Amino acid sequence: MAKIAIMGFGTVGSGVLEVCRRNAASIARRAGEPVEVKYILDVRDFSSSPDAALFTTSLDTILDDPEIKVVVETIGGTKFAYPYVRRCLESGRSVCTSNKEMVATYGAELLELARSHGAAFLFEASVGGGTPIITPMHQCLAANHISRVQGIVNGTTNFMLTKMKRENMSFEEALKIAQQLGYAETKDPGDDVDGRDACRKIAILASLACGHHVYPDNIPTRGIRDITVADVKAAEKLDCAIKLIAWYDEGENGRMAVGVEPMLVPETNQLAGVDDVFNAVLMQGDMLGDVVFYGKGAGKLPTASAVVADVIDALKEGAQVHDSLFWKPAPKPEGQLTDPGVHAWYIRVSGVAAALLPSVAGPGQVVFEQGGEAAYRIDGATTAQVEEIAAKVAVLGGQVRLVLKQLDA
């Protein structure tokens, strides 16, 4: 029998225990032996829990027990999770985690630590929740060179944008509903609405695609706070939807570009029809072409099921899984990994008449003018040129309120 431990007993950690018990027979069949949770590490008081005997407040309890083969980390963040995971890997125990912040920040280091100590470090649930993305990427697509990744990887913002489109809700109204339903944090929803969650996820996918560590700090990141109902309606006029897109592009001559930003997505693009809390990631392989992974990106049991699947792989394969699942450490570059390409853009400005925008922004079309604001679609420009346009608008006494790049059809 394989004994495992869970660190952190919140939503996902409790889900892991539930999945292990409810699907014990099928898990045992796939792992080749029964899997049992022996310890749960959590500093809170669970003395009244039916499973009180499983709880400990000391990591040493886990590390001193030779029966523990795999440790599940669902604490979150890096303050405690990172040093705890390091100690587990250094002891030769495999670790399975859903912690995107830790993987995005320390992934290369922890992967190398796992390999050097004959253990596995697995993190399928860190990007797609219950939707498999990491494993297909390093196994099923192993014969492909992945040159581009584009995806909707945050279900909360996708739910909000869907509400804004379908029910003419403001950002604030959509956020309130997302918080009431438990999709967004009530105290600080910034990780979701400001794009930090999506940034960590694309950092992981980009690292796996290019083979070396991509730092979240180098990824230009914008969220959806500035999106209005008027912008959503304007996008519909342009046969587009507004989506928060996390993307990676290998670029030419090794000039990688990565970003997270709200974008105009043409209705002809598969990502335009991904609504509510669903996620979708499109990858471009040189042999296979485009492939899309679609499903719910969060939820207690879907995420826990992905973690438990990693536990099974860790028990069966151990460190051998890192023959394909790895990326190398890399020095942190200066500046941002910006996109040098030419794209169509949508800009919304205040304080400048729509009639002046063609002379300021170049060829394009006026989308609307109302309430002291005007929206304009630029036929083609680089990021640097859009910044120059914003400066020209400022000279005229106006202000650019929103900028959206248009994704390829």
Q: Are residues 54 and 86 in the same domain?
A: yes
- For 42-90, how does the pLDDT look when each residue is reduced to its tens digit (9 = 90+)? 999 999 999 999 999 999 999 999 999 999 999 999 999 999 999 999 9
* CATH code for position 275: 3.30.360.10
Helix, strand, coil in percent for the chain, rounding step 5? 40, 25, 30
N-term to C-term CA, the chain: 51
At 298, the pLDDT band (50, 70, 90 cuts) reads confident
Task: Tell me if 335 is assigned to some domain.
Answer: no
Query: How many CB atoms within 10 Å of residue 328?
Result: 12
Average pLDDT over residues 96-102: 97
Q: Are residues 317 and 356 in the same domain?
A: no
Identify the three-state secondary structure at position 395: helix
Task: Tell me if 336 is assigned to some domain.
Answer: no
pLDDT at 224 over 80: yes
pLDDT at 409 over 80: no
Which H/E stretch holds residue 86?
A: helix 81-90
Q: Are residues 153 and 239 in the same domain?
A: yes
Q: Are residues 168 and 102 in the same domain?
A: no
Range with the poorest average pLDDT among 238-242, 295-299, 369-373, 376-380: 295-299
Which residue out of 38, 163, 201, 300 is catalytically annotated?
201
Helices (H), 129-226: 134-135, 155-167, 171-180, 190-193, 196-210
Task: Tell me if 29 is assigned to some domain.
Answer: yes
Supply the pTM of this predicted model: 0.95
Q: Are residues 238 and 102 in the same domain?
A: no
User: Which pLDDT score is estimated for 191?
Assistant: 95
At 206, the pLDDT band (50, 70, 90 cuts) reads very high
Q: Are residues 310 and 264 in the same domain?
A: no
- For 255-293, how does the pLDDT look when each residue is reduced to its tens digit (9 = 90+)? 899 999 999 999 999 999 999 999 999 999 999 899 999
Which residue's structure tokens are 């990858």? 283
Average pLDDT over residues 306-325: 96
Task: Tell me if 330 is assigned to some domain.
Answer: no
Q: Are residues 244 and 103 in the same domain?
A: no
Q: Which bin fits 318, alpha (ψ -120 to 50), beta or left (φ > 0)?
A: left
Q: Are residues 9 and 21 in the same domain?
A: yes
Task: Tell me if 225 is assigned to some domain.
Answer: yes
Closest CA to 341 of 258, 239, 223: 258
- For 329-384, how does the pLDDT look when each residue is reduced to its tens digit (9 = 90+)? 999 999 999 999 999 999 999 999 999 999 999 999 999 999 999 999 999 999 99
Q: Are residues 180 and 256 in the same domain?
A: yes
* CATH code for position 385: 3.30.70
Task: Tell me if 331 is assigned to some domain.
Answer: no
- What mean pLDDT value characterizes the chain? 95
pLDDT at 399 over 80: yes
At 253, the pLDDT band (50, 70, 90 cuts) reads confident
Task: Tell me if 370 is assigned to some domain.
Answer: yes
**Within its chain, how far is the Cα of 141 from the centroid?**
19
Determine the structural domain holding residue 21 and report its residue range.
2-130+300-323
Q: Are residues 272 and 356 in the same domain?
A: no
Task: Tell me if 164 is assigned to some domain.
Answer: yes
Closest CA to 211 of 54, 329, 373: 329
Q: Are residues 110 and 148 in the same domain?
A: no
At 297, the pLDDT band (50, 70, 90 cuts) reads confident
Count of domains for the chain: 3
* CATH code for position 308: 3.40.50.720
User: Which pLDDT score is estimated for 129?
Assistant: 87
Q: Is 237 a catalytic residue?
A: no
Q: Are residues 14 and 120 in the same domain?
A: yes
